[in-house]
Structure 1
Amino acid sequence: MRILLLSDLHANPAALEAVTAERFDRLICLGDLVGYGPSPSEVIRFIREHAFATIRGNHDNALALDVECRCSPDLKALAESTLACHRSLLNSEELDWLRALPNSVEFTLDGYRFAAFHATPHDPLYGYEITPELPDDQLREQIEGIKADFILLGHTHLPMVRGIGSRIVVNPGSVGQPKDGNPETSYAIIEDGVVELRRAKYDLPGTVDALRKLPLSAELIDQLTSILEQGTLK
């Protein structure tokens, strides 16, 4: 079985299209379908139609429940402005669907046990502790008590595959807004128990053109464009 693992799509349908050109048998989405990008409805529609499992990210939670997304201070203005814009673009059914998404899911595919969270097992919506640089002993503490072969995480926008004992921790990185210094969309394939992190080019200029049509200030559009073009906040 070929599993396509996606996270942090952030309303970027061009990036999602590039990733889903991959052949897959099951699609797992780790949340944050909305925020930052130009087209939340297109992304939600595709995931609703094709995902085997989807969980709610902090931006999905903020939009659907009208609460803080608790992102980094550097992104606060971008998050609040784009979420307000997206709230006006989504219909009530789409908002209800986001609201009903779980914070975590467990399932079995191809004989393997999976546990999926947007952020961390102990802070499913907001935790930023699990990064590629986290020492093994601290990572072991973060996943303590999780009985699964694969622990799937998103939120940081930083791709990662780490083995801790018999468990494999996977973060596919971000489809819609990579932040590891590489602007290409990031995702993972899991097949026969083997994880492969992958990148793909997408129509970034088209995404920027779509962003410029949103009712946002030129300063915010320029900041969003810089993040997309550089694949980083810096």
Structure 2
Amino acid sequence: MLIALISDIHSNLEALQAVWEKIRGADAVLCMGDIVGYGASPNEVVEFVRKEMERRTFLCVRGNHDNAIAFGVDWGFNPYARQALRWHQRVMSVENLEFLRRLPVRQIFADDTGRRYLLIHGSPRAPLDEYLFPWLPEGEFRNVLSYVRQDDLLLGHTHVPMLKVVEGRRIINPGSVGQPRDGDWRASYALIDTETGDVTFHRVEYNVEESARKIIEAGLPKFLADRLFEGL
């Protein structure tokens, strides 16, 4: 069984389409949230996800940007993010906002070997908001796993790919599809091969110029377009 892991699309349709070309043959797609926010194609991205969820095994949880846009809560965000959130609230369709509201904060998935995964955006301690960066002390990851009954923890939020193995249990972050922040601008995703147990991380180029152009034409902060080229 091949499982594709994606996260933090952030309304970047061009990046999502490029990743999808690589993962469309996977047996399951697991998304760790933040479908929207920052970028300029929120309705198109949500409609893409909605359609694929109807066709195949595709699980998705709600991220902090999804939550803020869906429920109109934008406190705690930086000025660039807040401006983008308010723009999303204005331009998104009622149906797509309702879809975001219905996304669960947690999901559980079992693969063909019986291994079980907990999907969450931030961490089990703070599902929407906690950042689990790869450079944190190992004790932090042990503590996080004490909140998890499943075998593995899948998360996003940091926009940085990560694999941590603690006594045979894995914490996996596939990085960001739509706004990587590890110095590599290319869209990021991960694959799990349940036959071998391997977790592999992948990058794919996409039409970043088009994504940036849309952001600027929408009147969103130019910073949100510029950062796409830097992966920061």
- Check whether the contact 1:58–1:69 (CA below 8 A) recurs between aligned residues: no
Given candidates 29, 37, 40, the residue that maps to 1:38 is 40
For residues 129 and 63 of structure 2, the distance between their equivalents in structure 1, rounded to whole angstroms, comes to: 8
Given candidates 43, 58, 65, the residue that maps to 2:64 is 58
- Check whether the contact 1:58–1:70 (CA below 8 A) recurs between aligned residues: no
- Check whether the contact 1:85–1:215 (CA below 8 A) recurs between aligned residues: no
Runs of 5+ in structure 2 lacking a partner?
A: none
Q: Which residue of 1 aligns with 2:171?
A: 169
Give the % identical residues.
40
- Check whether the contact 1:27–1:50 (CA below 8 A) recurs between aligned residues: no
- Alpha-carbon deviation of 1:215? 2.7
Given candidates 103, 120, 123, the residue that maps to 2:123 is 120
TM-score after normalising by structure 2: 0.92
Alignment partner of 1:19 is 2:25 = no
Number of equivalent positions: 223
For residues 76 and 182 of structure 2, the distance between their equivalents in structure 1, rounded to whole angstroms, comes to: 20
For residues 75 and 142 of structure 2, the distance between their equivalents in structure 1, rounded to whole angstroms, comes to: 27
Deviation track 1:84-142 (CA, whole Å, cap 9, x = no partner) reads 111122111111110111111112122220101000111000001x1111121221012
Runs of 5+ in structure 1 lacking a partner?
A: none
TM-score after normalising by structure 1: 0.92
C-alpha RMSD of matched pairs (Å): 1.2
Aligned pairs for 1:150-169 (under 5 A) are 150-169=152-171
Q: Which residue of 2 aligns with 1:104?
A: 106
Write the letter of the residue equivalent to 1:60: D
- Check whether the contact 1:6–1:28 (CA below 8 A) recurs between aligned residues: yes
Deviating 4+ runs (over 2 angstroms): 68-71
- Check whether the contact 1:157–1:173 (CA below 8 A) recurs between aligned residues: yes
For residues 75 and 104 of structure 2, the distance between their equivalents in structure 1, rounded to whole angstroms, comes to: 16
Given candidates 200, 218, 225, the residue that maps to 1:214 is 218
For residues 139 and 215 of structure 1, the distance between their equivalents in structure 2, rounded to whole angstroms, comes to: 40
Write the letter of the residue equivalent to 1:89: V
- Check whether the contact 2:213–2:225 (CA below 8 A) recurs between aligned residues: no
Deviation track 1:141-188 (CA, whole Å, cap 9, x = no partner) reads 122131222210100101001101121110001000000111011111
